[in-house]
Amino acid sequence: MRYAKDHHTGYLFDPWVQLGPRRREIVETGWPGLFRKYLFDRLPVDRLGRHFREFRGRPTKELYVMLGGMVLQQMFDLTDDEARDALLFRVDWQYALDIADPSDALVYVSDRTWRSYRQFCIAEGIDAVVFGELTDTLRQMFGVDTAAQRLDSTHLLSNMRKLGRVGLFVATIRKFLRKLLRIRKEAGASLAPELTSRYLAKDSEACFSRVKPSESAKTLQQVAEDLALLVEHFRVEDTIRKWPEFQLLERVLREQCDVTGSGAEAKVTVKPPQTVSPDCLQNPSDPDASYDAHKGSGYQAQLMETYQATEERDPKIPNLITHVEVEPAHNQDADALQSAIDATTERKCCPAQLLCDTLYGGDENVEEAKSKGVEVIAPVGGHTTPKSLTLGHFTSNPTTFVITRCPEGHAPERVEYNKKNRLQATFSRETCQACPRLSDCPVRLGKKDASLYYDAAKLRCAFRRVHEQTQDFMSKYRWRSGIEGTNSHLKRDTGACRLRIRGLGAVRFAIILKALAVNIMRCVRALKARLAGGLPLLGTPKPLLTIVPSPLRILCSMRVSNKLPQNHLLRVHTCFLLCA
């Protein structure tokens, strides 16, 4: 049965009066007060409640407390045991989660229950909903302008070991054999004893790790043949073929080897490393991780955040991460631009100006973003010509892309499409041959005329390269590097540098909530800057008293200010209700 407390209604008596004025001020002006007053009751517990019946069965844990506890766990980078202990004993957690009566039934959560609720959250995709809802709330509260934003990716490591090719083969074989001998001993007995002892003996891992470089190719060929033998031997077993461990064997064989022939005549050849796809298996303990040639194995996160293009940033207005997406490491950054724009457009926080690095700034991306009302400012990739004059120095019609003047002011005789569907601007051969800048010009001299070949994309990129050298571009693009500090903040302060989990779903859940934690931390600093500047608190705080009769309201206020003992107040309250 679903149980979610109504956190919109205030309390008849202040449950936090025992904190005293000093501690009360600390929690109210820190992250507990910000989270409790403005974010806590906006958690989407209805999505979590879909996994429970509405009226039948044993009551669930308080859904707001469980979902809020998941957010705080990632915010402080705690293990499950540390998070459950914080829920039991930490006053700041209880204040943030609006736990006025910390009874065992409310705050005690077993390890299995905590893991089950997290799996429900991952299955429902609650992480993205929580991030969007709470970030939009913070953005509106602090008046954050989203017109100028920047986008970048950062590499992430899950809790897996980095393996070489020999280690990958051995770990996959060992994982399969252990399950086979545990569940199907009779099937494992059909294998040669030297094969199983080679991978399951106590010193087998040490033996494979001490392979000499000169013998690595021989060892790799041996483990590849063993892997192919296991796949061929158990492929006819319908039950074993459905095991995830056996499917990993088939995946490694398919990705890393070429098999010719079948049966006893099968020949296994290990593929050269440069021909292996980057989305190949990196470790059998984390099948979702992939490989990036620049950063290595793991995952990557795409982050988009707001920024202030001023030398003196206003500390009362925070920079907020508006979009975060987690994907395997081999995914190209260029493919993430449009999805980030679409996601922020749906939440009405799309930028008008977006700073990116070279990988995002392809011509196709820039033009598609322009059609959505977003100006992408990024350097142009590719090689630049050593000549001082480029296509970008020519004058052209911005609509038809027809060149009208060369850098020396000469007009072409004609501009037309050639057989390859490219534009060809034809100039007078005599004029170009007499030009003093001919050696630096991209125009090619022919027997009868001088020609310049180009297309619309090439012309736009040339104009962008010329614009990159201007002060206007440099003054705008200088703010892109600030997102590197956000990447470092996410990794160092929230523990995203090395996660304790594996799998794309779990990694996405943790990283998205950690990005939300970065936003909360920044808003706490902005809130303290507002208080130091004498500005009022944002929003309306949660009321302490409900609407009660005037005499009782006076008594309650006396109790809050410690002018009336608690036991005396209870007697007066009881008498008042009896008289009423």
- How does residue 574 score in pLDDT terms, banded at 50, 70 and 90? very low
Query: What are the distances in angstroms from CA 305 to CA 90, 315, 406, 469, 491?
Result: 32, 16, 41, 26, 16
Q: Choose among 273, 326, 338, 325: nearest CA to 298.
A: 326
- Per-residue pLDDT of 476-497, as tens digits, reads 999 999 999 999 999 999 999 8
pLDDT for res 55: 82
> What residues are paired with 424 via a beta bridge?
416, 453
Of 101-110, 161-170, 204-213, 338-347, the poorest mean pLDDT is in 204-213
Q: What residue type is assigned to position 403 of the chain? A: I
pLDDT for res 228: 92
Of 124-128, 183-187, 318-322, 551-555, the poorest mean pLDDT is in 551-555
Nearest-angstrom CA–CA distance, 383 and 481: 23
Q: Note whether 331 and 300 are within 8 A (CB).
A: yes
Q: Choose among 487, 411, 506, 480: nearest CA to 452.
A: 411
Q: Note whether 538 and 530 are within 8 A (CB).
A: yes
Query: What are the distances in angstroms from CA 238 to CA 235, 271, 280?
Result: 7, 29, 25
Q: Note whether 233 and 191 are within 8 A (CB).
A: yes
Nearest-angstrom CA–CA distance, 555 and 545: 12
Q: How far is CA 470 from the centre of its chain?
A: 34
Q: How far is CA 237 from the centre of its chain?
A: 40
- Per-residue pLDDT of 353-401, as tens digits, reads 999 999 999 999 999 999 999 999 999 987 777 677 888 889 888 888 8
Helix (H, G, I), strand (E, B), or coil: what is residue 465?
helix
Q: Note whether 173 and 256 are within 8 A (CB).
A: no
Answer whether residue 82 shows pLDDT above 60. Answer: yes
Q: Note whether 511 and 156 are within 8 A (CB).
A: yes
Nearest-angstrom CA–CA distance, 336 and 303: 10
Longest dimension (CA), the chain: 113
Q: Choose among 427, 472, 480: nearest CA to 451.
A: 427
Radius of gyration of the chain from its Cα atoms, rounded to whole angstroms:
32
- Per-residue pLDDT of 163-195, as tens digits, reads 888 899 999 999 999 999 999 888 888 888 888
What DSSP string runs through 407-439? TTSPPPSEEEE-TTS-EEEEEEHHHHHT-TTGG
Helix (H, G, I), strand (E, B), or coil: what is residue 260?
strand
Predicted TM-score (pTM) of this structure: 0.86
Neighbours of 4 (CB within 10 A): 19
Nearest-angstrom CA–CA distance, 580 and 569: 16
Please identify which residue in the block is written with the tokens 């030297």. 194
